């Protein structure tokens, strides 16, 4: 059956889809498979979809979209999962703007009730030239393959946060810009979270020569089970491409459900660390994160950034109470970049 897709979500990006798609009623109910669905509902907030070009497009009642089956566990968004069976006509929900689709189990009132997505079928692709037999499309196709060999990893600056929207991407982008201005070939990545191209695109805008996410490795959402092998693959892939230093954002927070704790606990990934940047919304969050980093992970914090450093009240309090450098990424980007370049030189011997 042929179907016109009004919008194609960025989460499908590994698979080059056309507006005219072939679909089948046999839906494989597993994460990372691509489905077509019709939007039901009207929203005035959280009512956009990121397309494969990275543009946010408005969704309307009746739009037919291509999205990816996946889970989400977001404090400031939706939570949901992939049901064990999916039939044509079932109603699932749009769990994020990247086009991840699943059964919603929890809603944050700030984003309202999610759009319903009426399942129309599984999107097919035809990988064999001139063959008329299609196969169900999934984002593992054309993905960065797993790298399991013990290859070196360029020095990594990990950017971690207390929760969503704690300033991680803003800090990562400013750090990338300062490293690039200093002549470094910068690789960037989003290691954990739910599929969305926006952050990686911003990293490229700020000077990263290469910017990848876990979706490029074929995953719609990271978990405690898959986060570490995906992180190792992405960091080694960036090193292969020529990155001299890597800025790696860990989406969500230290106590989230996307595998951040597992990455911070992994010896191989820690061995590659040149610095740890902590982003926090307030001093109490920064204090709690310091306790976690010290007591649970035995890891040092190189510098604190995020909204808690937005003015002198926060920065002076953090320096005094936590005995840590506190530098705002937006207002003091150059100072933050210099501090981290000095940290890398001291911890890894990387060129200043």
Angle at which helix 283-295 crosses helix 312-322, to 10 degrees, equals 30
Kindly list the domain boundaries of the chain, sorted by start residue. Answer: 2-136, 156-348
Query: Considering all CA atoms of the chain, what is the largest pairwise distance in Å, rounded to the nearest integer?
Result: 68
Give the number of C-alpha atoms closer than 13 A to the C-alpha of residue 146, restricted to the C-beta side.
9
Measured distance CA(241)–CA(5) in Å, rounded: 34
pLDDT tens for the chain, residues 1 to 352:
899 999 999 999 999 999 999 999 999 999 999 999 999 999 999 999 999 999 999 999 999 999 999 999 988 899 999 999 999 999 999 999 999 999 999 999 999 999 999 999 999 998 876 667 789 999 999 999 999 999 999 999 999 999 989 999 999 999 999 999 999 999 999 999 999 999 999 999 999 999 999 999 999 999 999 999 999 999 999 999 999 999 999 999 999 899 999 999 999 999 999 999 999 999 999 999 999 999 999 999 999 999 999 999 989 999 999 999 999 999 999 999 999 999 999 987 765 5
Return phi, psi of residue 269, to 5°: -70, -35
Compute, in degrees rounded to 10, the torsion defined by CA atoms 104, 164, 57, 141: -70
Listing DSSP states for 241-286 in one string gives HT-SEEEEEE-S-TTSSSSHHHHHT-HHHHHTEEEEEEE-SSHHHH
**pLDDT of res. 127:** 80
**pLDDT of res. 1:** 86
Measured distance CA(73)–CA(270) in Å, rounded: 25
**pLDDT of res. 66:** 98
* Neighbour count for residue 16 (Cβ, 10 Å): 12
Do strands 303-305 and 210-213 pair parallel, antiparallel, or not at all (unpaired)? unpaired
Measure CA 289 to chain center: 20
Which position has the token pair 């300062």? 178
3-state secondary structure of 333: helix
pTM score of the predicted model: 0.95
* Neighbour count for residue 134 (Cβ, 10 Å): 17
What is the token pair recorded at 171?
A: 């800090």
Measured distance CA(61)–CA(349) in Å, rounded: 56
Measured distance CA(59)–CA(50) in Å, rounded: 10
The length of the chain is: 352
DSSP 97: T
Residues paired with 304 in a beta bridge: 278, 326
Specify the fold of 156-348.
Answer: Rossmann fold (3.40.50)
């Amino acid at each position: 059956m042929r179907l016109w897709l009004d919008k194609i979500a960025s989460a499908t990006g590994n698979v080059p889809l056309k507006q005219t798609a072939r679909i089948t009623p046999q839906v494989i109910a597993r994460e990372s498979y691509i489905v077509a669905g019709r939007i039901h509902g009207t929203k005035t907030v959280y009512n956009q979809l990121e397309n494969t070009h990275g543009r946010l497009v408005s969704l309307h009642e009746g739009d037919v979209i291509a999205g990816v089956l996946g889970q989400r566990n977001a404090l400031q968004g939706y939570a949901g999962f992939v049901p064990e069976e999916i039939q044509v006509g079932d109603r699932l929900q749009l769990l994020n703007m990247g086009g991840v689709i699943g059964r919603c189990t929890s809603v944050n009132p700030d984003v309202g009730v999610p759009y319903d997505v009426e399942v129309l079928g599984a999107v097919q692709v035809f990988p064999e030239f001139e063959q008329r037999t299609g196969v169900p499309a999934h984002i593992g196709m054309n993905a960065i393959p797993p790298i399991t060999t013990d290859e070196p990893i360029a020095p990594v600056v990990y950017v971690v946060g207390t929760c969503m929207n704690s300033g991680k991407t803003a800090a990562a982008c400013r750090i990338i810009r300062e490293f690039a201005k200093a002549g470094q070939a910068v690789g960037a990545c989003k290691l954990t979270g739910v599929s969305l191209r926006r952050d990686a695109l911003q990293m490229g805008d700020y000077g990263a020569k290469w910017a990848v996410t876990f979706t490029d490795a074929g995953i719609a959402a990271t978990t405690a089970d898959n986060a570490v092998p995906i992180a190792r693959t992405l960091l080694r892939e960036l090193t292969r491409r020529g990155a001299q230093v890597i800025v790696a954002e860990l989406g969500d927070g230290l106590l989230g459900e996307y595998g951040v704790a597992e990455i911070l606990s992994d010896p191989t990934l820690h061995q590659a660390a040149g610095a740890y940047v902590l982003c926090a919304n307030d001093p109490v969050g920064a204090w709690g994160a310091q306790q976690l980093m010290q007591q649970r992970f035995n890891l040092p914090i190189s510098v604190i950034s995020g909204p808690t450093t937005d003015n002198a009240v926060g920065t002076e309090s953090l320096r005094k109470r936590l005995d840590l450098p506190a530098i705002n990424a937006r207002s003091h980007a150059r100072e933050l970049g210099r501090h981290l370049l000095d940290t890398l030189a001291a911890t890894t011997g990387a060129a200043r």
